[in-house]
Amino acid sequence: MPTNSKTPAKTSAKAPAKAPAKTSAKVEDEAPVAKAASKAAAAKAAAPAAAIVPHDYKPTEKEKYMNPVMLEYFRQKLVKQKNDLLRESSDTLSTMQTEGGMQEPDIADRATAETDLGVELRTRDRYRKLLSKIDSALHRIEDGSYGFCEETGEPIGIARLEARPVATLSIEAQERHERVERTQRDDV
């Protein structure tokens, strides 16, 4: 029995020595994001569970960035957008099942119906990708990192989030990202 009690002590002594090395390297790599997340998490922790958003509320630059009311405002906006997309997808599905379109006797009508179906399916695919981004944004609201750039950790900005609530990059970071994409595309 004494051998068993020593073995766990050695194992536990070795485990903490390895953990800080990984953690410190990871913290250095993710410092801007972690810093932004900790700011937002602190604001969230100090806030009540669910903030009440006034009916005519619009976020402004004058108020504290990502305060509980602002977070709830964007959460509600994202949930509404998600529900609208799901409803439209459901409507499209039921329309496709009832109308069909592939039963058209005229070949030109059938071709038109197939083209319309292709456009509709591409639109639904874009909506599916947007739904994934909305879910990710809702998760970021929950973990306290919503509204902060994933690359720099700086605030994304209210105007940008109003225009695109699923944004993960500040305007400057997005422009850099697009420049790199254009450069890589031009090189190929």
Strand-pair partners of 148: 155
What is the pTM (predicted TM-score) of this model? Answer: 0.66
Domain range enclosing 96: 2-187
Reported as half-sphere exposure (CB side, CA atoms, 13 A), residue 110 has a value of 6
How many C-beta neighbours within 10 Å does residue 134 have? 20
Q: From first to last of the 188 residues of the chain, give the pLDDT tens digit.
A: 444 444 434 433 333 333 334 333 333 444 444 444 454 444 444 444 567 888 999 999 999 999 999 999 999 999 999 999 999 888 888 877 776 556 777 888 888 888 888 898 899 899 999 999 999 999 999 999 999 999 999 999 999 999 999 999 999 999 999 999 998 887 76
Domain count for the chain: 1
Say how many Å lie between the first and final Cα of the chain, rounded.
66
Looking up residue 156, the CATH number of its domain turns out to be: 1.20.120.910
How far out from the chain centre does Cα 85 lie? Answer: 16
The predicted pLDDT at position 100 comes to 59
79 token code pair = 């949930």
Residue 10 is encoded by which pair of tokens? 């050695």
Contact between 89 and 81 (Cβ < 8 Å)? no
Residue at token pair 């194992």: 11
